[in-house]
A = this chain, B = another copy of it.
Amino acid sequence: MSTINDIAKQIKTDSFQLSCLSNEVRNTALKEISRALLSNQSKIKEANKLDLEKAVSAGLAAPIMKRLKFDGQKLSDVVAGIESLISLKDPLWNTLLERELDAGLVLKKVTCPIGVIGVIFESRPDALVQIATLCLKSGNSAILKGGSEAANTNKVLFDIIHDAGIRAGIPSSFLTLIENRSDINELLKCHESIDLLIPRGSNEFVQYIMSNSKIPVMGHADGICHVYVDCDADLQKAIPIVIDAKTQYVAACNAAETLLVHKNIAAGFLPALKDILKEKSVILKGCEETRKIIDCEPAEEKDFETEYLDYILSVKIIDSVDDAILHINKYGSHHTDSIITENQESAEKFMLLVDSAGVYLNCSTRFADGFRYGFGAEVGISTGKLHARGPVGLEGLVTYKYKLYGKGQIVADYAEGRSSFHFKDLK
């Protein structure tokens, strides 16, 4: 039996065939995949039913059950995602720069696939479809490892997508499913074959991947997002935004975990907010100043470092927009943070100095999402600063190479003054 390392090596070797496929061939395959998903709807539902039954007997929590469920709605969503992916411009072989360095010596910077991408994700079978199709559109080979809770659904979805791709003329190695949890550690060692890892899951899980592989990792370990209600905030906007950021989907990485409130408006704002949050069953944890205004649990230092992913919100009263920025840069996770203010100067200061992938004015942190940004789909959200930051769509799945077209030029002629560069951008 082949080891994961052998498999990854073979995928790497074969991956270059994918690079040669035209956008038309890749789009035709995406159409075939979309058709195949729709025509195999009952098979998918059956497999999903098995996973859901297992989850019930294992007593899995409601949020996991919700993510695990792959119903007609989720199928429509992923099919709509594929359609929008087909309509997106080809991300490959675009010329980013074309520069004549000297007569007959032309440099081109062109986009190309990254190569082989390993994606490790938990419990959401719709993520498998999104990731597989994003990788195909961008000419990358994908190695997928899904959560064991969704094993049956994942296997059926993989087979449908893989078969459809092959029918449309895509090399078989474009998509590989790994089913054993023990294979993850083998995968992490394949830094010679795998170009990028995208882990999607819990903080501990992502941290583990980041600490145990030489392969570059794109993603986020946690999402400690803030809403800062400034002294110049319109409270009519602030209340619904805080409610939405906290409660619209508590298990999301872009949900707010901490509310910062300017001292000048705290007394007017917090009691009203508390009443509405109570209706939504949100538990408040406040700093000392907060607890002078409203009755709530005390927030400790560690609360401000915690991603609750639950109906809990920590609250801190602060003195200025500068203090809000300092707090966020210290305790946040560089994900998404929002300021509520009518003061343009404070807004721009916040958006300039908060060191996060998303800096928002007068809207909910929950907008941080590839679909909502109009990217068609996303492979995940990155809190790193290199390559791709924030929601990662097709653009984050390509790199570039420099092509230099010469007619026999050598560096010695330039170093010794017989020739010289003139740098003329042709594009």
Most buried by B among A234, A360, A367: A367
Residues of B within 8 A of A358 (CB): 401-404
Residue contact B101 to A407, C-beta cutoff 8 Å: no
User: Number of copies of this chain in the oligomer?
Assistant: 2
A263 contacts partner chain B, Cβ-Cβ < 8 Å: no
Residue contact A411 to B373, C-beta cutoff 8 Å: no
Residue contact A401 to B386, C-beta cutoff 8 Å: no
Contact of A408 among B107, B356, B362, B414 (CB under 8 A): B362
A355 contacts partner chain B, Cβ-Cβ < 8 Å: yes
A310 contacts partner chain B, Cβ-Cβ < 8 Å: no
Q: A232 to chain B: closest CB distance in Å?
A: 14
Residues of B within 8 A of A406 (CB): 360-364, 367
Residue contact A387 to B386, C-beta cutoff 8 Å: yes
Stretch touching chain B among A26-34, A208-216, A285-293: A208-216
Cα–Cα distance between A412 and B236 once the two chains are bound (Å)? 16
| Contacts known (A390-B402, A401-B358); A415 close to B374, Cβ less than 8 A | no
Stretch touching chain B among A46-54, A171-179, A180-188, A240-248: A240-248
Residue contact A115 to B373, C-beta cutoff 8 Å: no
Residue contact B362 to A405, C-beta cutoff 8 Å: yes
Q: A362 to chain B: closest CB distance in Å?
A: 4
Residues of B within 8 A of A404 (CB): 358-361, 363, 367
A151 contacts partner chain B, Cβ-Cβ < 8 Å: no
Cα–Cα distance between A408 and B340 once the two chains are bound (Å)? 8
| Contacts known (A408-B363, A409-B363); A16 close to B399, Cβ less than 8 A | no
Residues of B within 8 A of A243 (CB): 410
The 3 closest A-B pairs by CB, nearest first: A363-B406, A244-B410, A237-B408
Contact with B along A390-427 (1 / 0, CB 8 A): 11000000011111111111111011000001010000
Residues of B within 8 A of A244 (CB): 410-412
| Contacts known (A386-B399, A404-B361); A410 close to B115, Cβ less than 8 A | no
A195 contacts partner chain B, Cβ-Cβ < 8 Å: yes
Residues of B within 8 A of A357 (CB): 401-402
A385 contacts partner chain B, Cβ-Cβ < 8 Å: yes
Cα–Cα distance between A20 and B345 once the two chains are bound (Å)? 13
A352 contacts partner chain B, Cβ-Cβ < 8 Å: yes
Most buried by B among A13, A20, A245, A408: A408
- A–B Cβ pairs within 8 angstroms, 28 of them: A16-B329, A16-B355, A20-B353, A99-B373, A101-B372, A107-B373, A114-B385, A114-B386, A115-B385, A218-B386, A241-B408, A244-B412, A249-B411, A351-B403, A356-B401, A357-B401, A359-B403, A360-B404, A360-B405, A360-B406, A362-B408, A363-B405, A364-B409, A364-B410, A368-B402, A389-B400, A390-B401, A390-B402
Residues of B within 8 A of A407 (CB): 237, 362-363
Cα–Cα distance between A409 and B367 once the two chains are bound (Å)? 9
A105 contacts partner chain B, Cβ-Cβ < 8 Å: yes
A366 contacts partner chain B, Cβ-Cβ < 8 Å: yes
A196 contacts partner chain B, Cβ-Cβ < 8 Å: yes
Residues of B within 8 A of A346 (CB): none
